[in-house]
């Protein structure tokens, strides 16, 4: 049976003006952002809608901003039938809400804390990340192993065939970049990030986030959720808690997650939230599936027409 999967983007998808048209035209979205402004004690909506970009790029702002945008769209689409969810890194928290595992407010509080802790960990343990395009996973693994003599470095994201992100201490990542070029990588690019996400350098954030996760009620999923750490669906709330925490320092197995969802019947993927990053990745993973997205009010109107026929 054909299945619809909702997928949610992670950090890097933010842009100045995000969700502004939804806020101005849909009362549910206005209410969501107004409540977030009250909860945070400052206007995150103003930063989303007007910038400045430098503020929006700060991890502690970026993460709740993307989460709120994804949730704004999800609130408007939640009555359409979908059978699977997944989220890329931060996007996994949006997927938790979509799957009925977390209440929106609990997820927002966790996302806000996660952003603050990751920004702090990035200052305490400076690191970097780099995209490597055009090499096989095994080759990049071997490069990371060799570069580990210079410090911490590991695969952070397995995004799509031949598109991998590595993460770790500056010297080790730059050594790995050098080796990747020698091995014939098509593109090797250091990313503009505030820390070495999905690496052991995020360790200081883990214990604090773990305490907060423990206090929150996680329910059994209402639809299948495919987790970053395992690339497989999980149904036990305690296992999901554990995997959400481990995700901070573990690789995001995005390509494998999408392949598993397709093997389990997904024929339509809808990216919910800012940007088109996941749509691009999914098209590179499997061209036969339908890939749609919903970011703006215009997208929403177009998507609503299409979903009637899905």
- The residue to which tokens 């999800």 are assigned: 74
pLDDT of residue 294 exceeding 90: yes
Would you tell me which CATH number, out of the four given (3.20.20.20, 3.50.50.60, 3.30.70.250, 3.20.20.330), belongs to the domain 127-190?
3.30.70.250
Tens of pLDDT, residues 190-228:
998 889 999 999 999 999 999 999 999 999 999 999 999
pLDDT of residue 183 exceeding 70: yes
Local confidence band at 307 (pLDDT 50, 70, 90 cut-offs) = confident
Local confidence band at 310 (pLDDT 50, 70, 90 cut-offs) = low
Tens of pLDDT, residues 8-53:
999 999 999 999 999 999 999 999 999 999 999 999 999 999 999 9
What pLDDT was estimated at residue 102?
98
Active site residues: 89, 198
Give burial (CB, 10 Å; 0-12/13-18/19+) of 122: buried
Name the CATH topology of 3-123+200-307.
Answer: Malonyl-Coenzyme A Acyl Carrier Protein; domain 2 (3.40.366)
CA dihedral angle for residue 75, residue 271, residue 276, residue 267, rounded to 10 degrees: -160
Tens of pLDDT, residues 222-277:
999 999 999 999 999 999 999 999 999 999 999 999 999 999 999 999 999 999 99
Give the pTM. 0.97
Q: Residues 287-298: what's their mean pLDDT?
A: 97
What pLDDT was estimated at residue 304?
86
For the chain, the structural domain boundaries read 3-123+200-307, 127-190
Local confidence band at 129 (pLDDT 50, 70, 90 cut-offs) = very high
Tens of pLDDT, residues 44-84:
999 999 999 999 999 999 999 999 999 999 999 999 999 99
């Amino acid at each position: 049976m054909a299945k619809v999967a909702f997928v949610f983007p992670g950090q890097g998808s933010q842009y100045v003006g995000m969700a502004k048209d939804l806020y101005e035209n849909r009362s549910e979205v206005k209410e969501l952002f107004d409540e977030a402004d009250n909860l945070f004690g400052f206007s995150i909506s103003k930063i989303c809608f007007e910038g400045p970009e430098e503020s929006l790029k700060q991890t502690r702002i970026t993460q709740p901003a993307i989460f709120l945008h994804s949730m704004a769209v999800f609130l408007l689409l939640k009555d359409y039938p979908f059978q699977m969810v997944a989220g890329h890194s931060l996007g996994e928290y949006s997927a938790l809400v979509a799957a009925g595992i977390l209440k929106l407010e609990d997820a927002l509080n966790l996302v806000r804390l996660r952003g603050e802790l990751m920004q702090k960990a990035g200052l305490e343990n400076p690191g970097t990340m780099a995209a490597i395009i055009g090499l096989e996973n095994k080759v990049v693994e071997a490069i990371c192993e060799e570069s580990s003599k210079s410090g911490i470095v590991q695969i952070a994201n397995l995004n799509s065939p031949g598109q991998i992100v590595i993460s770790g201490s500056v010297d080790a990542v730059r050594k790995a970049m050098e080796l990747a070029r020698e091995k014939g990588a098509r593109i090797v690019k250091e990313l503009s990030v505030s820390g070495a996400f999905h690496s052991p350098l995020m360790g200081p954030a883990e214990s604090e986030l773990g305490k907060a996760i423990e206090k929150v009620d996680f329910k059994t999923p209402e639809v299948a959720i495919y987790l970053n750490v395992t690339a497989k669906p999980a149904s036990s709330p305690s296992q999901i808690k554990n995997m959400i925490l481990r995700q901070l320092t573990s690789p995001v197995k995005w390509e494998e997650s999408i392949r598993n969802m397709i093997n389990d019947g997904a024929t339509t993927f809808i990216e919910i939230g800012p940007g088109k990053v996941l749509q691009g990745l999914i098209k590179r993973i499997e061209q036969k599936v339908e890939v749609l997205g919903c970011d703006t009010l215009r997208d929403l109107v177009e998507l609503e027409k299409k979903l009637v026929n899905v």
